[in-house]
Amino acid sequence: MTTSANTSDYQIYNKKGEHVGDHHQHWMCRTHWEDLLKYQPLKDHSIKETWLDEEEEYFEDDEPENLEIFLKKLERQSKELREYFREK
């Protein structure tokens, strides 16, 4: 059974703080972080996570995180991310 607790939603912001996109991650499925590489340059974008817990209560990160730093932390999970950062 899947619930909302198995998913996270992410909002992408440019350096002006304007919302420029969204990313949805279902944790029971293959991750697809490489989709976020379209927000270039990565260092000029930030990402903020929101999610629902088992009781469907809404939570969000306090502050957006720099997108480049966020993706570097996930580099080991994605061949595409490893290749991207190796080429940089």
- Residues 87, 48 contacting (CB under 8 angstroms): no
* Mean pLDDT estimate for the chain: 88
Q: Is the pLDDT of residue 7 over 90?
A: no
pLDDT score of 81 more than 50: yes
Whether the per-residue pLDDT at 36 is higher than 80: the answer is yes
- What's the CA gap between 11 and 29, in Å, rounded? 20
Q: Would the pLDDT of 12 be above 80? A: yes
Is pLDDT above 50 for 1?
A: no
* DSSP E strand stretches across the chain: 7-14, 19-26, 45-52, 58-60, 65-66
Return d(Cα 80, Cα 82) in angstroms, integer. Answer: 5
For residues 81 and 71, the answer to whether their CB atoms sit within 8 Å is: yes
- Residues 75, 85 contacting (CB under 8 angstroms): yes
